[in-house]
Structure 1
Amino acid sequence: MSKQGERLQNKGVRGTRKAATDRSTAPDGGGGGGAPRSRWKLWLKRLFLWGVGLAVLGLIFLAFAVGFAAQSLPSYSTLQATQPGQTIVIRARDGRELVEIGPSFGDWLKYDDIPENMTNAMVAVEDKRFRSHFGVDPVRLTGALLEGVTGSRARLGGTSTITQQLARNLFLNNNRSLDRKAREAVLAMALEWKFSKEELLELYLNKVYFGGGAYGIDSASRKFFSHPANELSVEEAAIIAGLVKAPSQYSPTADVQAAVDRAQVVLELMREQGYITADQAQVDVSAVQLKEQAGQNSVRYFTDWVLPQLDIILPETYEPIEVWTTLDIGMQRAATASIEANTPKGAQGALVSLDRDGAILALVGGTDYVASNFNRATTAMRQPGSAWKLFVYLAALEAGYKPEDKVNDTPVTIDGWSPRNSNGRNVGETDLRTAFAYSINTVAAQLGNEVGFGTVASMARRFGVNSKVDTNPSMVLGASEMRVIEMTQAFAGIAAKGVAIEPYGITKVTGASGEVLYRREASPGSPVVPDYVVAGITDLLQAAVQTGTGRAAQIGRPVAGKTGTTSSNKDGWFIGFSSGITTGVWMGRDDAKAVPGLQGGRAPAQAFASYMRYAVKSRPVEEFDVTLELPEWQLEPDAEAMFGEPDDYYYIDEQGNMIQPGRDEFGPEDERGPDAPPAASQDFLEEATGGALPQQSQRPPREPRRPPPQPAIKPGE
């Protein structure tokens, strides 16, 4: 190249550089963003460096935490010897053992003795990367974080690895707090640091809970298949591995189909992960021979109700304890037999029997505990039907009615509601005793409207009913749902001369060395209604059994009780008492569908009689005291009571509203509110019962009613 050409080329290069320099410093923005971009890069670099630094510090802290935890872990032999759970022996009222509840352990299987199908099944369903992770699965953890951000539920497994589950079972509780999850992760990594994968699987498979009190695969194998775990087949291993997620839901003794379906999922996962062939995955799980379960009698319904109470009455303790209860073994057997023999096919039955102080003598929550452990005696909410009329007539008696008072069975409409009698007929004039004995709906509706629906609800509260009570007119026929145990409790209050009682099942608890950890102290109560009200309602209840709807409940000695049947025969009740024992029986379907022919006066009353014949056989016959010792204000002749100033008496206006002496009308809302006053004055009731009643309304109390010779509510109003 010539010198001239070189000069031209160098000049071009210098021009290009100059132009680039000019553009970089131009004020018009053409390339003027270099400085901000440099600052942005600088901040990104700083953030990255800070992030790396914090991550390194975090890893160092985690390593120290894991190392410290690993050094603090017990030895393998100590972990092997540790047994979870507390042994509780529950005894009957005579000291005989009812049931022992606590962990069941089989033989400890070394890793080499555990069938390979068992280890593979557990890894496949619980933690497929168990053999490669360090205690925490980063893949699962990342999936969980993404799920938390996106709200997706696509991830089928949980976040806890087998090692994390082992750490939780050995050292932690089951709450879901972030702190517990963090400690679980640290302990899992510490376990991985200190022990081999084989040792961890051995610990896990010998300690994990499989339901029914069975801890470890050997205990589970013996419980479900009647042979030790080293003989498990691939399909049996799949069933056991499937239990860990939800032992009660997938238990083959409770729901065979659920267990089979879950096992099929396990087998498919084993096939996908290469543990078994496609042919092996097609085994017929339903053909597995399950161990025949000895019938778990209905005492488990009682123990299920009793055991949670220990958390309240005892200080925290893990030592073995003995719980002494009120249950009578003979009565429990009789109660179970009466429910099984009398409950209609396809329906369920429940029974609660109380002694005069509230001690539970027998409790049956269903026809078959193994098939369903749902406790229909203490948990199920069902409409009591006409059994609820107990509270309607209690309020009426307290307001001044007497069993022989005349009432009219005629069509009636209250706030647009028109109740009908079960036979579709009306008998006209009758007396209170007959109306109760034959459970006449229209009379109950009139009485409830007269005394006030809120007053009826407050009467139920006095006798221990805690469930929600609606104060609509239909409440007088038992429209509000109740538990069997609380309805039985209320009737037991009548048997106890008007003293509200509290059901109880535990008398004392003793520790391993025999020391008394808890003893129930008796607390005598005061009557919540006057004696004349107790005598009057007992008269009515006895008539219902002698001549009315409860005749099937007769047992050859005095019985007082009431039937209850809801619409379309969905529920049947009988509740009554004799010789100091009060028993309530309910029957119906769990899905609340109709049961053909179910009426309180049939199967429930028959079950009551069958049980009570045994329950009272060793008790003396007790006649009921139905003599009415009326207060002075009730002894005035009706004709004389009509003289005097109108403001001295209650009356019903043309709109059907009750008018209180010397006051303006009560509106419907006032009369039916949840804080309605008692049917008689508070002062009078406290003097009559000898003690203060449960707090009622703050409104001025009523004066006792002097019933007129004719019903106070006009038919049709």
Structure 2
Amino acid sequence: MSRVAAPRARHRSPPHTASPGSPRGRAQPRRAAAATRPSRLGRLLAWGVILSVWGALTIGALLLFFTWDMPRPESALAATRRPSVTLTAADGRMIATSGDLYGETLRLSEMPRHLPAAVIAIEDRRFRQHFGLDLIGLARAAWVNLTRGQVAQGGSTLTQQLAKNLFLTPERSLRRKVQEALLALWLEQRFTKDQLLEIYLNRVYLGAGAYGVDAAARLFFAVPARRLEPWQSAILAGLPRAPSRFNPRVSPGAAVARGVAVLEAMAETGAIAPGDVTRLAERMHFAPVPSRDAGWFADWVQDDLGTRFPGSADLLLRTTLNPRLQAAAETRLEALLAGPGARARATQGAVVALDADSGAVRAMVGGRDYRSSPFNRAVQARRQPGSAFKPFVYLAALAAGATPDEAVADTPLTLGGWSPGNGGWRPRGTITLEEALAQSVNTAAVRVLIRAGGPRAAAEQARRLGLTGPFPRDASIALGTGEASLLELTAGYAAFANGGARVTPFGIADARAGGRAVAITHAAPARVLPAGEAEAMRRMLEAVVERGTGRAAGRGAGKTGTTQDFRDAWFIGFDRGLVVGVWLGNDDASPMEQVSGGGLPVRLWREIMETGR
């Protein structure tokens, strides 16, 4: 029988439990602590990753919030703008601007050295040291504002100001400040310091519609930026902080005070000697403004610019305006309306002055105050000229063969039930045509009209000299019952002053578009009267001033005009090649108190001729 060996049973000991004091019992906790270390480190790493991701997302969201509407710098540098129109007076002084006014773009090397030095001294003395953001300046400004308890100092760099001026709106917000800082950093990376300064000086807004130092120099000092003196540079450098408040035309005192502060800053930086501050400050002055309200003239000149100068180039238009004459016309009209005019219930007036030989308009006042009423009463208003129309009636008689010495009856007259009055004139029986015009005798004027060929003949003479009417077809035309504007009536008298040539009023002498000369054309004076007729009319109009209704003028030649119930009062006169027309009245055509053409209008004409030439 085979023997099978029984399997040997294996003895398994129960789990060993070490006593607390044994070495084996002390090693077990160390192994457990070691096993927990990787899990804590992992958790820290995980949290770090999570926080980094959320931080990046937060920063990205903030950047998106601050920059989603931020302009692209490349496109903003080449942004388009409205073409500008700059009007200068005949002597080169600027009188009006529209659109965005830019002067000549200058390189830094073309500007006087004191100009950029003044800007750096007052705006950003660390301009050449910082990277677009001046941390030292920010800290200093924060400390000053904290200690004073108010915002007394800013920390913006010149580069930040450039970023704001080029790309951003004036809005005050944290978002705009962040955008400003980002754009400043971009500008510093893209351009050199000299290039940044050059862009700033050519593009910064300096008030009164002027962008850049050249436009402002021409506007405030009537010189190009190349010819600026140190005190002028100081005034321009002080404008960017508050262009409206320091505008030399609006607040010359504030502009001077700011300019002195810039000079002091220049002395501190070594741009000028300390002893030069007082000397330069004493030289500060500004080019006189040609007039207060030359806006009527500016509006008239620009009325058809789109047709005459098509395109989008900047326009520089030298006009025919005489600043001295314009200022005299405005100030004397206002003084008269505020004094004797107010007492006589005359509330409005208009003045036109033009060159008798060419038609160039030298002054135009369309009312009492352009700001309150830009309606041009010298051009747009059409009123009855009264006896100021009579020269055209007498001209028709001369054309029909009459002479100034010819006799005409001045006695009462009735035509179809109409009897023109003679006012205070006492009939003499007969008088010469010259005396009839000088004394403005109505009945004589009607008889002269009949002798000349009637209403049609007088209307034809008026149209020949530029008046457009409408004119009545009856004898009342002799008393000026048609319609005319002050401008066309004044231009019509030019033929009596220049020997018989019709002139067309114009206001632009020469033009430049985009810096290039543009040819302009004017209607040339055209002879429409024989020299003898023109000379005879001049002689009769001189008699009006020498011994007639225009005696108060004291010089030259001209004709008065007064309409029914003293609703309109006129005087159109000329002397030494200048024709000046005056109208007084009320916009609602209400009567004045005994204001005739030989009274206040003649007085105003004389004052303008005396003070404006």
Give the aligned partner of residue 97 of structure 1. Answer: 94
How much has 1:213 moved relative to structure 2? 8.1
Task: Provide the C-alpha distance between the structure 1 equivalents of 2:430 and 2:586, rounded to a whole number of angstroms.
Answer: 37
Structure 2 vs 1, CA of residues 523 and 296 (structure 1 numbering), >3 Å: closer, same or farther? closer
Aligned residue identity for 2:493: F
Structure 2 vs 1, CA of residues 94 and 296 (structure 1 numbering), >3 Å: closer, same or farther? closer
Aligned residue identity for 2:428: V
Matched, 1:308 2:368: no
How much has 1:536 moved relative to structure 2? 1.5
Aligned residue identity for 1:422: G
Give the aligned partner of residue 363 of structure 1. Answer: 364
Matched, 1:510 2:508: no
Task: Provide the C-alpha distance between the structure 2 equivalents of 1:600 and 1:574, rounded to a whole number of angstroms.
Answer: 6
The 5 Å alignment of 1:148-163 reads none
The 5 Å alignment of 1:328-477 reads 328-343=322-337, 344-345=341-342, 346-355=346-355, 356-423=357-424, 425-450=426-451, 451-477=453-479
How much has 1:449 moved relative to structure 2? 2.4
Structure 2 vs 1, CA of residues 424 and 540 (structure 1 numbering), >3 Å: closer, same or farther? closer
Deviations 1:256-280 (A, max 9, x none): xxxxxxxxxxxxxxxxxxxxxxxxx
Matched, 1:326 2:328: no
Matched, 1:591 2:588: yes
Deviations 1:59-104 (A, max 9, x none): xxxxxxxxxxxxxxx9777589856532111111112211222249
Structure 2 vs 1, CA of residues 429 and 102 (structure 1 numbering), >3 Å: closer, same or farther? same
Task: Provide the C-alpha distance between the structure 1 equivalents of 2:209 and 2:414, rounded to a whole number of angstroms.
Answer: 57
- Is 2:290–2:327's contact at 8 Å kept on the other side of the alignment? no
How much has 1:552 moved relative to structure 2? 1.0
- Is 1:438–1:548's contact at 8 Å kept on the other side of the alignment? yes
How much has 1:112 moved relative to structure 2? 7.4
Structure 2 vs 1, CA of residues 112 and 538 (structure 1 numbering), >3 Å: closer, same or farther? closer
- Is 1:545–1:561's contact at 8 Å kept on the other side of the alignment? yes
Structure 2 vs 1, CA of residues 501 and 82 (structure 1 numbering), >3 Å: closer, same or farther? same
Matched, 1:113 2:137: no
Name which of structure 1's ranges 422-431 and 573-582 shifts more when overlaid on structure 2: 422-431
The 5 Å alignment of 1:516-595 reads 516-520=517-521, 523-526=524-527, 528-555=528-555, 559-595=556-592
Pick aligned residue for 1:297 from 273, 292, 301: 292
Aligned residue identity for 2:591: A
Give the aligned partner of residue 253 of structure 1. Answer: none
Task: Provide the C-alpha distance between the structure 1 equivalents of 2:537 and 2:290, rounded to a whole number of angstroms.
Answer: 41
Structure 2 vs 1, CA of residues 354 and 318 (structure 1 numbering), >3 Å: closer, same or farther? same
Task: Provide the C-alpha distance between the structure 1 equivalents of 2:523 and 2:450, rounded to a whole number of angstroms.
Answer: 38
- Is 1:296–1:369's contact at 8 Å kept on the other side of the alignment? no
- Is 1:507–1:520's contact at 8 Å kept on the other side of the alignment? no
- Structure number with bigger Rg: 2
- Is 1:415–1:473's contact at 8 Å kept on the other side of the alignment? no
SS at match of 1:601: coil
Task: Provide the C-alpha distance between the structure 2 equivalents of 1:424 and 1:103, rounded to a whole number of angstroms.
Answer: 60
Matched residues, number? 368
How much has 1:435 moved relative to structure 2? 0.9
Pick aligned residue for 2:497 from 495, 498, 520: 495
Structure 2 vs 1, CA of residues 89 and 443 (structure 1 numbering), >3 Å: closer, same or farther? same
SS at match of 2:504: coil
Task: Provide the C-alpha distance between the structure 1 equivalents of 2:411 and 2:326, rounded to a whole number of angstroms.
Answer: 44
| % identical aligned pairs | 37
How much has 1:322 moved relative to structure 2? 0.3
SS at match of 2:421: coil
Give the aligned partner of residue 606 of structure 2. Answer: 609
Deviations 1:120-169 (A, max 9, x none): xxxxxxxxxxxxxxxxxxxxxxxxxxxxxxxxxxxxxxxxxxxxxxxxxx
- Is 1:409–1:430's contact at 8 Å kept on the other side of the alignment? yes
Deviations 1:404-454 (A, max 9, x none): 211111111223321111226433222211111110000111111232110
How much has 1:299 moved relative to structure 2? 1.2
Alignment gaps of 5+ in structure 2 = 1-69, 103-163, 176-207, 211-240, 243-288
TM-score (norm: length of structure 1): 0.48
Task: Provide the C-alpha distance between the structure 2 equivalents of 1:497 and 1:110, rounded to a whole number of angstroms.
Answer: 60
Aligned residue identity for 1:335: A
Task: Provide the C-alpha distance between the structure 2 equivalents of 1:324 and 1:508, rounded to a whole number of angstroms.
Answer: 5
Structure 2 vs 1, CA of residues 602 and 481 (structure 1 numbering), >3 Å: closer, same or farther? same
Task: Provide the C-alpha distance between the structure 1 equivalents of 2:438 and 2:483, rounded to a whole number of angstroms.
Answer: 23
How much has 1:524 moved relative to structure 2? 4.6
SS at match of 2:381: coil
- Is 1:352–1:585's contact at 8 Å kept on the other side of the alignment? yes
- Is 1:342–1:604's contact at 8 Å kept on the other side of the alignment? no
- Is 2:83–2:99's contact at 8 Å kept on the other side of the alignment? yes
The 5 Å alignment of 1:108-187 reads 108-109=168-169, 113=173
- Is 2:504–2:524's contact at 8 Å kept on the other side of the alignment? no
